[in-house]
Amino acid sequence: MTVWRRVATAVLLASITCLAVARQANADPARDALTPMRTSALPALPVTATPTGMGTVDGTAVAIGGGAAWALDDGATAWRSVAWPRAMVPADMAGIGSDGKNSYLLSGSGGHVDTVARLQLSPAGGLSVQPLPALPMPLDGAMAAISDTAIYVGGGAKGIWRIFRIDPSADRPAWSTVSAWPGVTNVSSMVVQTGALFVTAPSGDGEAIWRYIDDGGWSRRGILPGRVLPPPRPIGQAHVLYLVAPAKGAAPITPVTFQTITSSWTKVKGNDLPSAPLAVMPWHDGIAWASAADGRTAVTTAQFQGSKLLLKWLDWIVIVVYLASMIGIGLYFYLREKRNSTSNFFVGGRSIPFWAAGVSLYAANTSSISFIAIPAKAFESNWQYLTNNLIAVFGLMFVAVWIVPLLRRLDLMSVFSYLETRFHPAIRMIASALCILTQLGSRMSVILFLPALAIATITGISTTWSVILMGGFTIIYTAMGGMKAVIWTDFVQVIVKMGGAIFAIGFIIWSLHGGVGQFWSTAMAEHKMHLFDFSFDLTKATVWGFMFLVLFDVVLTFPKDQVLMQRTLSTKSDKEAGRSIWAFAAMMIPGGFVFYMIGTALFVFYKAHPERMNPLLPIDATFPLFIAAELPMGVTGLIIAGIFAAAMATLSGIMNSVATLVSVDFFDKLVKNPTPRQSVLFAELTTVAVGLVGIGLALVLSRFDVHSLFDVSIELAGLLGGGFAGAYTLGMFTRRANAPGVAIGVVGSISLTFVAWVFRLVHPYFYLAISIFLCIVIGYVASLFFPPPAQSLRGLTIYRDGPEHH
């Protein structure tokens, strides 16, 4: 223990020193905009006609005006004339709504808009239209806001501003009315961002921004410094780009970004527009606009310039030392252990002390999802998901007393061996296969991709190479050292990542002008520490939902979690196994507060300094952006090492656990009498193979624009991992359940959960609980139609040697 105390003391002293250096480095309050815009010229339109609208149609820029239409060629070198759709009268066109992907034409007669149609390019090169159902009523001064799932059209009707919405992808699209606009003046712009509708309306010398969400209605979110010139454009996942003119006068026109989460705006660094544009459209990472210049119609584009924030030499030294130490631990156990049995490789010879197993449990449970996605979730919303940690502690108490000692007494390596002993070998193999898919699909890929996103943001190394390098290092030390290397590297990694997380919070609060007072007042005013939601809405994350979830996700799911159970199975006895769970529970609440506090601190910081955000980055990159842009040299490397530690601790556990399942549940079953050396060699090769598959899946995931990887991991885990968890409940808590009934329960629960997913019946957080509950009910009822188990159940239920219970 002396060595570990020295390590902890060194980390603490280093953190204090770095904080002092960081304070000095940030003494200057002046900050520059992090992401400027750069303007460039596109070819001028071939005529001087004023464009009525511009937009993107099937990836091609299109301008319409004066009864004519033009499309920009693929190389952006010239505009070509395209045929006007025969179904449309040019004089009836009122404007175009575009989101940078699709464009919709607004048209009508007599100055009123009653028709919305999607613009398309025909194979012959002309424009065509695909009309939507007619608006419920004609609108004056109509404008549109487009998103991937809905089209909003607003305008005046009988002196009242009305907004209608339609889902064009529905089988039978139909317009619905959005809740009545509460403003006293007409709307000047509309845009959809972060799943919400944002509108602006004149207010004094500026324009007020209002937000509409289905479950919260209208709320005022801020004010912009001048008159908004439509249309605005969504940027990234949480920004809107507005063009703002002075309250009095016509120029200059200033680009302004509004951050939808912090409700703060900042002027974009770059060139202002000298005059109001004739038409504006989304274009790549910015906008393009038409303007009159020297007797022609010029087209100009302004694009955000996101730059890589590269690591300094001292950061690289810190990271290299960390990675080298992980390889060193793996090499140490590779040279020390005889490696003559799978027991040594998979469960460390059952010699791990309970406190080390408990720390390793916490390390495995706090992956890169905790280090990156949870701060992003708290930055975007509040602390409601932390309720799960608080309630989970009570569930872990039950697990420590009843479930873990029962399984530890059976001397298992694969937790699914229990299902074979209790039910049937087929159920064991099916459950084990589903667990492998769950770990690879819903955990390993996400846990690899998240830190790779951070590394790509900070170092300039591509996401692909980041995934390969991080996965490769983890494969090496896990394959060399087995479970002992996994647990002892976990111990070091907890110190590194928690030290980095605590330092980040202290640094953010210290860098605020108002210090702790500003942090506290801003967080409370914005309800960023809101913790408990006692509503009974099944579509939200509520206290009741978490209580329901913990019963299933912790108490009833823990036995099937090979990654966590393998650490408890590595302890010396069933009593030590129980103690490891108590140690895990003791760390869960303070650890949870740390990661959610990071998100809140980030919110306060970026509300005060919105110019330091990069609109092009996803929300999940918020913490990595702060690490790269705000921390001084050396400290950045320390926090990056913490991100590595968060990911690698969980990755190593998953690799070792999945290799255990493949070896014990399949190799040892299908290969006749393998020698111990053959089994260990297969385990080592399987560890490498599992790591490579995880790397491949993470690379696939990196090709998609995912709003919240935290939500994705929860959703996939519920769909893939819930069905067979109910089999443990039926086996441990009943004597009547049998193999045929449990098999029916597993298949039925997974099928019905997919139905709930397809129709979006409940919040994804409930999928796992629903699947387990259905498995228990269906499995028990189905078991009643088959004979009771014939074999002895001694030691296989929580009743131990007591009387039978049904």
Tens of pLDDT along 652-709? 888 888 888 888 888 888 887 788 778 878 888 998 999 999 898 888 877 776 655 6
> CA distances (Å), 133 to each of 118, 167, 191, 478, 681, in order?
11, 11, 21, 59, 65
Assess contact for 560 and 728: CB atoms under 8 A: yes
Q: What is the pLDDT of residue 541?
A: 67
Helix (H, G, I), strand (E, B) or coil at 435: helix
Task: Find all residues with CB under 8 Å of 731, minimum gap 6, and list them.
Answer: 418, 419, 422, 423, 737, 742, 796, 797
* pLDDT under 70: residue ranges of the chain: 1-31, 48-49, 86-91, 307-309, 337-341, 368-369, 454, 457-459, 537-541, 549, 552-553, 705-713, 720-723, 765, 800-806
SS3 content of the chain, % helix, strand, coil (to 5): 50, 20, 30
Q: Which phi and psi (to 5°) does residue 791 adopt? A: -80, 165
Task: Find all residues with CB under 8 Å of 770, minimum gap 6, and list them.
Answer: 718, 722, 749, 752, 753, 756, 762
Q: What is the pLDDT of residue 559?
A: 74
Assess contact for 363 and 649: CB atoms under 8 A: yes
Q: What is the pLDDT of residue 340?
A: 61
Assess contact for 387 and 535: CB atoms under 8 A: no
User: Quick one: tokens of 680?
Assistant: 């260990």
CA distance 9 to 684: 35
Residue 201 DSSP code: E
Assess contact for 291 and 465: CB atoms under 8 A: no
Assess contact for 150 and 156: CB atoms under 8 A: no
**DSSP bridge pairs for 300:** 41, 289
On the 0-12 / 13-18 / 19+ scale of CB atoms within 10 A, 91 is exposed
Assess contact for 477 and 325: CB atoms under 8 A: no
Sheet with strand 254-259: strands edge to edge:
227-235, 239-245, 254-259, 264-267
CA distance 525 to 227: 28
Q: What is the pLDDT of residue 558?
A: 76
CA distance 193 to 501: 30
CA distance 333 to 163: 66
On the 0-12 / 13-18 / 19+ scale of CB atoms within 10 A, 27 is exposed
Q: What is the pLDDT of residue 457?
A: 65
Helix (H, G, I), strand (E, B) or coil at 306: coil
**DSSP bridge pairs for 217:** 213
CA distance 180 to 379: 30
Q: What is the pLDDT of residue 1?
A: 45
CA distance 149 to 166: 9
> CA distances (Å), 804 to each of 56, 175, 556, 728, 736, in order?
71, 61, 21, 18, 10
Chain centroid offset of residue 781 CA:
38
Neighbours of 788 (CB within 10 A): 13
Closest CA to 142 of 109, 118, 112: 112
